[in-house]
Structure 1
């Protein structure tokens, strides 16, 4: 049995978070080679929607993680699994890191590349390396977020396998997507925003977004009670 109002809140957060994150990502420019700083910074400097798209991404991530925190709160009342408690702590930590990441990527980096783009030739090198330093901080935060988010999602999947509220295939999506996302973070730590990192992160992110969308739909339709049998 789940509290109806909290279940609806989690459902709305999960679905709305997915929508905002997808829209924000759609408007985010993707350079041919993200590790080519000159190419990337040139595109970023000319993007008028940069800050807005990143704030939209942040809002989406916060809503999704809020849904997970609410789910953990609901399930701890009916489940003996300690995974929910640990996973909820991970979700809270992810919100903090996501906010720091967007402060660096969505605001500080944009301002830095704007300064670099407008700087006179004599000062372009200094401005470029200042922006590049911010870029490295972005890589560090993005890598850490991917690893922690992946572990958190996997923990939610393990918790869902241990109770009767979620079908096993939904839990499996969380474990699969979470493991791949954590691997993405490790690859990013060593290679930056590389082609290999993108090759892993794109399908991993899609799996996690699908997982959260399915959870949102199930919770909205449940009306306070899970009726979907485990299979």
Structure 2
């Protein structure tokens, strides 16, 4: 098998596994309290015993999707499809790095701060809340930037697919739709935090991206034996 064929198989497994891991980890995330209501959200987060595990799972899911996107780029034909895919690879690296920073803040630092807030009393409790609130703002900033970066990244891959003969046009449009929706959600988060508007945009867009990733995984697996044995001249 050629490098392209191996990457297609790796990408297929990573796309499916990453999407499922991200989905399961997100289901483990507490979602009862309004995320834009800090006291209610912090109390819910402090009580959650799976907080760190679910956020590590979310990062692993994003990292696996990053592997899948790099593999996807390697399967594109030379020319315009490959050019857009290379742009997408740069965005993939930036997105995974931002996701790591986000989970370090959200999955680790915020959990420590909300636990301290719940255990404190009097003036110490007020100071602990302000500390947790500050960490929350860093989280919002990273989350919004991740959505913007990942939305642009998937949009680049969607454009690459639209120009490629190896993938159906509808799959490119699906990626473009999910990517632009995620971009819009990131912009909304930057201006309004985890507001109802931001959630209304991010939830459907996230579902579209997960579906897109799974379908991409299926197509990559089927494409692997059809790829040339020798790498194309780019």
Same fold at TM > 0.5: yes
Name structure 2 gaps, 5 residues minimum.
228-234
Provide the residue aligned with 1:10 in structure 2.
11
1:2 Cα deviation after fit: 7.9
Provide the residue aligned with 1:42 in structure 2.
43
Provide the residue aligned with 2:79 in structure 1.
80
**Residue pair 1:3, 1:224 contacting (<8 A) in 2 also:** no
Q: Tell me how far apart the structure 1 counterparts of residues 41 and 111 of structure 2 sit (CA, whole Å).
A: 11
Can you list the C-alpha shifts for 1:64-98, whole angstroms capped at 9, x where unaligned? 011001111232xx321211111110001001000
Query: Considering only aligned residues, what root-mean-square deviation do their CA atoms show, in Å?
Result: 1.3
Are 1:151 and 2:144 counterparts? no
1:19 Cα deviation after fit: 1.0
Provide the residue aligned with 2:142 in structure 1.
141
1:32 Cα deviation after fit: 3.3
User: How many matched pairs?
Assistant: 224
**Residue pair 2:33, 2:44 contacting (<8 A) in 1 also:** no
Q: Cα distance 1:177–1:2, how it changes in 2: closer, same or farther (>3 A)?
A: farther
Q: Tell me how far apart the structure 1 counterparts of residues 16 and 97 of structure 2 sit (CA, whole Å).
A: 21
Q: Tell me how far apart the structure 2 counterparts of residues 173 and 146 of structure 1 sit (CA, whole Å).
A: 17
Provide the residue aligned with 1:100 in structure 2.
101
Provide the residue aligned with 1:130 in structure 2.
131
**Residue pair 1:5, 1:224 contacting (<8 A) in 2 also:** no
TM-score using structure 1 length? 0.94
Can you list the C-alpha shifts for 1:195-222, whole angstroms capped at 9, x where unaligned? 1111111110111111100010111233
Pairing of 1:46-57 with structure 2 (within 5 A)? 46-57=47-58
